[in-house]
Amino acid sequence: MDQTDGGQRKQGIIDCDVHVYPKNVDELKQYMPQPWRDRYKPGGRGFYENPGHGSRLDARPPGGGGTGTDPDFLRKQLIEEYGVDHAILLPRAFCNMQPDPDYASAIASAYNDWLADTWLGKYNKDGVFKGSITIAHQDPAAAAKEIDRWAGHPHFVQVMTDSGARAPFGQRQYYLIYEACERNGFPFAIHPGTDGMGINEQPSPGYPTHYIEWHTCLSLSFQAHLVSFLTEGVFEKFPNFKVVLVEGGVSWVPALLWRLDAEYKGLRFEVPWLTKRPSEYLRDHLRVTSQPIERPDNDQYLLQILEMMDAKNILMFSSDYPHWDFDSPTRAFPKLPEELYSRIFSDNARELYRL
């Protein structure tokens, strides 16, 4: 794979975090039965909206409408501009904050029906778009049924949920979801959202004052969920189950696992179901997307972090299009060795999603 000065070659990329949205609330509501249709109101981040602008200033379609709503403009600005072979779509339903599990599940199902008909259907004649099945994890039984409902669809490639939750994801109340993922061959993707909102716990000690504080600390819930998956023995119980951490940062991974491995040396009697050090589960069970990549002043530091975290086997490129902190494929990374570039920008995602 050829690389260009200041960036990488413009072909073969799999972008693992692309956000698309309904054109308006009525486009989504048509997929909701009553009484949820009349009750539904979109939204979900609550206090922590970007005080400047939540999306790229140039990402609003010239023909009108919100960012991430026009497939032709998205194709021009992302797919064609950077030579993206596939975009993994992650809609933002924010249903996991709802106290009514039936309402939450209705929102999730509507988003899946809408995505299947539009971005994975009439907008997707060439198959470039691949989708994520939204679930409401507060009702694991309903979530498992929703996963089964989409099994066999040619363009759904993973299950997704918010990082906001009432308990760490390794705990057994979620196992019906993981059984359904494993049964149908779907990875389980976690994306930031609804932490501390609605019924969910805030991962920091209390509520941050500013957006910058909240946004910097997005990785806190990801770290807690990952440690929970590992110490609860989820990957022993579900040997073919894989987790994707989306938009939660990258550089914290090696340090967290060093600490957990050190704790395991003295406390392994507490988790006797583990058959190896926690860090040894990552290659078979964990994938991490790159945006927002932590880019230090010295590029060599980032390259060292990538080696420490086994990026060759677990890291996948993502842009977070169309959001304000979009990572361009040509500028997110320093110049990478050929094999590492190929693994991050293409091969790891192709293998995970069977593309």
pLDDT tens for each residue of 58-95: 989 998 999 999 999 999 999 999 999 999 999 999 99
Categorize the per-residue pLDDT at 45 as very low, low, confident or very high, splitting at 50, 70 and 90.
low
Dist CA 243 CA 189 (whole Å) = 6
Tens digit of each residue's pLDDT (9 = 90 or more) over 11-36: 499 999 999 999 999 999 999 999 99
Token code pair at residue 329: 């494929």
Dist CA 38 CA 32 (whole Å) = 9
pTM summary value: 0.95
Dist CA 173 CA 137 (whole Å) = 10
Is a pLDDT exceeding 90 seen at residue 225? yes
| Ordered DSSP codes for 22-70 | -SSHHHHHTT--TTHHHH------TT---SS-SB-TT-S-TTSS-TT--
Phi, psi of 243 (to 5 degrees): -115, 140
Spans of all domains in the chain: 13-41+55-353
Is a pLDDT exceeding 90 seen at residue 8? no
Phi, psi of 281 (to 5 degrees): -85, -15
Token code pair at residue 351: 């293998």
For residue 193, give every residue at least 6 positions away whose Cβ sits within 8 Å of its Cβ, in sequence order, or none. 44, 45, 92, 94, 96, 162, 163, 164
Categorize the per-residue pLDDT at 4 as very low, low, confident or very high, splitting at 50, 70 and 90.
very low
Domain covering 13-41+55-353: architecture: Alpha-Beta Barrel (3.20)
pLDDT of residue 294: 94
Dist CA 267 CA 264 (whole Å) = 5
Categorize the per-residue pLDDT at 48 as very low, low, confident or very high, splitting at 50, 70 and 90.
confident
Tens digit of each residue's pLDDT (9 = 90 or more) over 229-255: 999 999 999 999 999 999 999 999 999
